[in-house]
A and B are shown apart, each in its own frame.
Chain A
Amino acid sequence: MSEFRRQHPVAAIAQLLAVLKQNIVTIIILFFVGSRNSGDYFWYFFGFGILSALVIGFFSWMRFTYRVEGDELQINKGIFVRKKLYLTKDRIQVIDITEGLLQRAFGLVKVEIKSAGSGTESATISAITRREAGELRKILRGESVSVNTDISSEESFETQEPEENTKSWRLSSKDLVLAAFTSGNFGLIASILGAISGQMEEFINEENLNYLAEKLPGYADSTLILWVALFIFIISYIISFIGVIFTYADFKLERNDKEMVITSGLLERKHTTVPYNRIQAVRFVEGVFRQPFGYGMLYVESAGFEQQNKEKSIVLLPFVSKKMLQDFFKDFLPNYHEPKAVITPPERSALRYIRRPAYLLFLAIPIIWFFWEPGWMLFSLLIPAFSFGWLRFNDARLNIDGRVMKLQYRVLARTTAFIQKNRAQVTQLTINPFQRRKKLATIQLTAASGAGGINFSISDLDYDDAMSVYKWSVENKNEYHSEFPSG
């Protein structure tokens, strides 16, 4: 690959689709609002938009050339402002290969190469043949010790010759369905739906509501609102269910000596390569609906930029039982394990934990009460708030040994973070005046993730315990000698 070459022409259309996908909400709203009011003008406008996106797509395809020179990926691009993007092999963090619907139709793939450092955009080659992508990945991942990254075959990215060090993990269809049932991110989708419906005053206005109220006699205003809320809730639950199924269908994780390869997706298949030496931390999140079944989701943090994408972490296992975690670590993440020594917040911080979720209520309820007579009844909310705080107190714990620290804490979902000593970027101790009186301190570790960092913190540990963790981060000793009972 020493000649500069172009992508497959489908890239031009891929860009158009990307633009459409990004603005899908705006387009839907325009469809509803625009097609009704402005008649034909809307279609001219819409057509013009698509046409100009196509033209831009064509020219950017023409300008986009790439090659691999030595161990450097060189990309030239830009219509008006010409850009030369050079990425060296040893800075590359993650390689994503995605087969979108469009790409699949032509036997093509999209390659995204993410490197360390911030402030630059990631190198995306949006349409090349599988063969080229395979070659590209092979070159950029280096002449690996094992040859099982050899993916130059036309057919697939899967391992050709199984080796003793090659292991794989699959998501069973039963687990996939369970994962979809318990995904619980419909809260987010509900808020998006809420935002959209807020913009669609066209439809949700008093006239229509009155009409609905007449159609459904016997429902007072508040019951109607309840029904609407329930409706949005169910819709978003279904959307989230389908979303999980589509994203994680046929999920497969494979490892070799140097990296893990994640393959998943139904319509859009995505291959993510995570090199072992780029993993910054591992995070196990037990969602509220998953914890009762003893399941959760496992993420890895990897440094690199991804400003456009809010989800900086990579999903390593979409649905896994907590019991299996240690076995999984042994097979796939040998650098991580459960450290023995335990540090928990002392009993004197229990009250602080219990009160903390209730602070907002203490502030808000008197104000509501002032304006709304039966507002005092909201004080009953304090009981769940206190219980929640108690849960948080019981969940907070920190395990530590010479190499690995495990931090478990609860925000809403229970998170367990595993971080290797040499990946903890910064350790911070915070003591506020109330903590000082009780000799307590909050410890926070920062690992690199995406363009910035991800913080893991545990509040109200005993000051001496917190201090020993603080010193741990720079200690060179291999074993953590603690006076704490282990187990």
Chain B
Amino acid sequence: MDNLIHSVPDKRIDKNAIKAWRISGFLFGLLFYLVPAIGFFVYMEGGADYWFAVISGWVALFFHLTAFIVVPGVRWRRWHYNVTEMGVDMYRGMFIIKRTMIPINRIQHVDTKQGPVYRKFGLSSIRLSTAATTHEIPALDDGTANHLRDLISTLVRQVKEDV
């Protein structure tokens, strides 16, 4: 859809996000095997059909592969954001596109966050809190994240002083 693409905010998150999400996707995807594992266990105990374990196993494999091969790339390609003196504009979503605007003077605090996988790739997420909700821009490189955090807090202070 042309006018959608046309108007998306212009900044992207760090490309290393794909690698980081591959790893976390792979690890989290392992949880999908819990269902066939339980199915197999019940089968061994003679409680259920063999087919349940097999089918759910294939389904789990499919989801697992999707989670770490397909999802990270698409997710990265869809993520756009922009920070201006007006507000923070976020655009994301694989199937359902979500676009969120937080006016700058509604932001109550900003912080950056880094998990073990992100740390390995030098990535951080920024978390923005308003009086009502919390939003996150994931996987920015550390420099950008720190810069943005400071920028946003400066902008917030400026606007608050203006009022």
Contact = CB atoms under 8 A, between A and B. Distances in A.
Q: Do A and B bind each other?
A: yes
Interface of A: 116, 280, 303, 422, 424-433, 436, 439, 446-449, 452-454, 463-464, 467, 470, 473-474, 476
11 contacts: A280-B131, A422-B105, A424-B106, A425-B130, A425-B133, A429-B97, A429-B100, A430-B99, A431-B96, A453-B131, A473-B101
Given A428-B98, A431-B96, A436 B4 contact: yes
Given A428-B100, A433-B95, A474 B86 contact: yes
Interface in B71-113: 86-87, 95-106
Nearest to A447: B132
A436 B97 CA distance: 9
Contacts of A436: 1, 4, 97
B133 A426 contact: yes
A425 B102 contact: yes
B35 to A, nearest CB: 23
A474 B96 contact: no
Interface string B108-123: 0000000000000000
Given A426-B106, A426-B135, A448 B130 contact: yes
B102 A430 contact: no
A432 B96 CA distance: 4
The 9 closest A-B pairs by CB, nearest first: A453-B132, A448-B131, A429-B99, A425-B130, A474-B86, A448-B132, A425-B132, A431-B97, A432-B96
User: Which of B87, B98, B103, B132: most chain A CB closer than 10 A?
Assistant: B132
Contacts of B98: 428-431
Interface of B: 1, 3-4, 7, 86-87, 95-106, 130-133, 135
A78 to B, nearest CB: 29
B101 A474 contact: yes
B7 A116 contact: no
Instruction: Provide the main secondary structure of the chain B interface.
Output: mixed
Nearest to B1: A436
A343 B152 CA distance: 33
Interface of A is mostly: strand
A427 B100 contact: yes
B163 to A, nearest CB: 9
A436 B3 CA distance: 11
Given A430-B98, A448-B130, 19 more contacts: A303-B132, A425-B106, A425-B130, A427-B101, A428-B99, A429-B98, A429-B100, A432-B96, A433-B95, A436-B97, A446-B132, A452-B133, A454-B132, A463-B4, A467-B7, A470-B101, A473-B87, A473-B101, A474-B104
Contact of A424 (B86, B96, B103): B103
Contacts of A431: 4, 96-99
A71 B109 CA distance: 25
A236 B100 CA distance: 42
A460 to B, nearest CB: 14
A464 B96 CA distance: 18
B79 to A, nearest CB: 15
B100 A425 contact: no
Given A431-B4, A439-B1, A473 B132 contact: no
A157 B124 CA distance: 54
A487 B112 CA distance: 46
Contacts of A446: 130, 132-133
Nearest to B96: A432
B7 A449 contact: no
A118 to B, nearest CB: 9
B49 to A, nearest CB: 21
A432 B132 CA distance: 24
Nearest to A427: B101
A433 B94 CA distance: 10
B96 A430 contact: yes
Given A303-B131, A436-B1, A448-B130, A426 B102 contact: yes
B133 to A, nearest CB: 5
A430 B132 contact: no
A464 B130 CA distance: 26
Contact of A426 (B4, B86, B132): B132
Contacts of B86: 474, 476
Nearest to A448: B131
B131 A425 contact: yes
B152 to A, nearest CB: 14
Contacts of A427: 100-101
Contacts of B133: 425-426, 446, 452-453
Contacts of B1: 436, 439
Contacts of B97: 429-432, 436
A482 to B, nearest CB: 18
Contacts of B4: 431, 436, 463
